Amino acid sequence: MSPNKDLSFLESVNKSFNLAAEAMDLPKGLARQIRTCNAVCEMKFGVELNGGYEIFTGWRATHSEHALPAKGGIRYAPFADQQEVEALAALMTYKCSIVNVPFAGSKGALSIDPKNYSLEELEHITRRFAQELDKRGLLGPGINVPAPDMGTGQRMMSWIADEYQKLHPNEINARACVTGKPVHCGGVQGRIEATGRGVQYGIQEFFRHSDDLKSAGLEGNLEGKKIIVQGLGNVGYHAAKFLEEEDGALIVGVIERDGALVCEEGLSTEAVYQYKSEHGKLEGFATGRYFKNGKEALELPCDILIPAALEGVISKENAPRIQARVIAEAANGPVTFDGDKILREKGIFIIPDAYLNAGGVTVSYFEWLKNLSHVRFGRMDRRFVEAQGAKIVRLIESGIDKPLDPKAKADLLKGPDELTLIRSGLEDTMCEAYQEIKEIHSSNPKIKDRRTAAFALAIRKIADIYDSMYL
């Protein structure tokens, strides 16, 4: 490798893993066992389109089977390759462990640009891909459970679930073969925005720790904090929208493929998103300065930079010029291993991807549980909770001898619906995982940063499972 070239995505993941493993007392060979990708399957299959056949190449990597099922998204992208899939699968293993989701890691990809195909063609291709996954034992509620990723979404997941049901008509848990489905097809409320919501909860938790804020040169809360978001896809859009509208943060920069918008007074995430959706670009938006070279905006001063698109956008080349106080990694692998080292030397606080973007898999876990139980969240206890709330209201009103404030009364009388319970579970997960990472960081002097701490937390949990297997 050229001395001026950054490590690959997979190499960066493995280097970060090795740093954490070296800081731990592990039995000989166990770190290698945990790090090694168990299996990668490359599939080439033909699909009849427009009177002829087109050959597609896809991959499914199962990084670990210390727990089953293995879990991870499927992306449709023209640049997809096996190494990227292996790196993403490894991250999924560590991510699930960090947030206490009992899955192993997997990832899939199809080398395709979805924009080049009609909806009907994409359905045909997706169903064929599902058949290929199934015949190789890479699809099933107790074996391997895909989810949406870049270039895929709810509709494609429903196609996979339907195809699996056709292939296994007697499988009562067939819907659990995939997550990220529409609600009417067995999905859960809040799944679409889950990763972005998890990013918000993770950043909120960071702001609850004064020592972490101090190390980043920040104070107070999110109100008025300047944020630049790179990538206004599903994750970046929801994270920015929630942070702006619910926490009072200022979205001072939005970076997309065609360039960037910058406005010190703050941009409306929703307005920018709608403009981009309508026009396919940022150029021409009424507010802010437009940068043709969007990468320049990565280097502008801000409190929080949220890379929420592709891996490797911050490298050894541009890391010296990054001026953010905090990097919140909403994407997978947005900072290379070499870039990470430079940022840390500059005193920039990094909230790592293996933790911060785990909202998607957390809510996928909830959806999987819903599919296995065949009961929506809230169905069993909502009315009971509302009845208990009514009793509390009556007691309070009799004690103060006057009616409660209508809003306070309504809050007490409302039982939790599925969305409320999903958000509650996700927030608790993100808060607890942050605290676990912080604790392992503070308790081990060999661990110098939160990324290493996150990997160490994952390794410790997986190592405990392997230890119990071989007792």
Cα angle 295-301-304, degrees, rounded to a multiple of 5: 90
Q: Which helix (H) or strand (E) holds 346?
A: none
DSSP bridge partners of 250: 226
SS3 452: helix
User: Given a cut of 60, is residue 159 above it in pLDDT?
Assistant: yes
Which residue among the candidates 71, 107, 370, 438 is catalytic per the annotation?
107
pLDDT at 1: 45
**What is the residue-averaged pLDDT of the chain?**
94
339 neighbors 319 (Cβ within 8 angstroms): yes
Q: Two tokens at 60? A: 């499914």
Task: Tell me the per-residue pLDDT of 410-466, one tens digit each, with 9 for 90 and over.
Answer: 888 888 899 999 999 999 999 999 999 999 999 999 999 999 999 999 999 999 998
pTM, full prediction: 0.92
In terms of Cβ atoms closer than 10 Å to its own Cβ (0-12, 13-18, 19+), residue 109 is buried
Task: Tell me the per-residue pLDDT of 382-410, one tens digit each, with 9 for 90 and over.
Answer: 888 888 888 888 888 888 888 888 888 88
pLDDT at 393: 85
pLDDT at 466: 87
**Helix (H), strand (E), coil (C) string for 105-170:** EEEEEEECCHHHCCHHHHHHHHHHHHHHHHHCCCCECCCEECCECCCCCHHHHHHHHHHHHHHCCC
pLDDT at 156: 97
430 neighbors 202 (Cβ within 8 angstroms): yes
Q: How far apart are CA 461 and CA 9, in angstroms?
A: 24
pLDDT at 380: 84
Residues 6+ apart with CB under 8 A from 81: 59, 109, 111
pLDDT at 392: 86
Strands 52-62 and 104-111: antiparallel
Task: Tell me the per-residue pLDDT of 56-70, one tens digit each, with 9 for 90 and over.
Answer: 999 999 999 899 999
292 given a catalytic annotation: no
Q: Which residues belong to CATH 3.40.50.10860 in the chain?
A: 9-185
CATH of domain 9-185: 3.40.50.10860
Q: Two tokens at 162? A: 């339907």
- Taking Cα atoms as reference points, which of 1, 19, 2, 9 lies closest to residue 315? 9
306 neighbors 236 (Cβ within 8 angstroms): yes
Task: Tell me the per-residue pLDDT of 188-228, one tens digit each, with 9 for 90 and over.
Answer: 999 999 999 999 999 999 999 999 999 999 999 999 999 99
Cα–Cα distances (Å) from 227 to 191, 203, 243, 253, in that order, read: 24, 11, 9, 7
pLDDT at 3: 53
DSSP codes joined into one string, 380-412: TTHHHHHHHHHHHHHHHHHHHTSPPPHHHHHHH
> Position 193: which residue type?
E
Task: Tell me the per-residue pLDDT of 125-153, one tens digit each, with 9 for 90 and over.
Answer: 999 999 999 999 999 999 999 999 999 99
- Taking Cα atoms as reference points, which of 384, 364, 328 lies closest to residue 212? 328
109 neighbors 120 (Cβ within 8 angstroms): no
pLDDT at 305: 98
Token match 């990013």: residue? 199
Terminal CA-CA length for the chain? 42
pLDDT at 4: 60
- Taking Cα atoms as reference points, which of 184, 120, 118, 106 lies closest to residue 149? 106
SS3 301: coil
Q: Which residues belong to CATH 3.40.50.720 in the chain?
A: 217-347
User: Given a cut of 90, is residue 104 above it in pLDDT?
Assistant: yes
CATH of domain 217-347: 3.40.50.720
Query: pLDDT category, 470, cuts 50, 70, 90?
Result: low
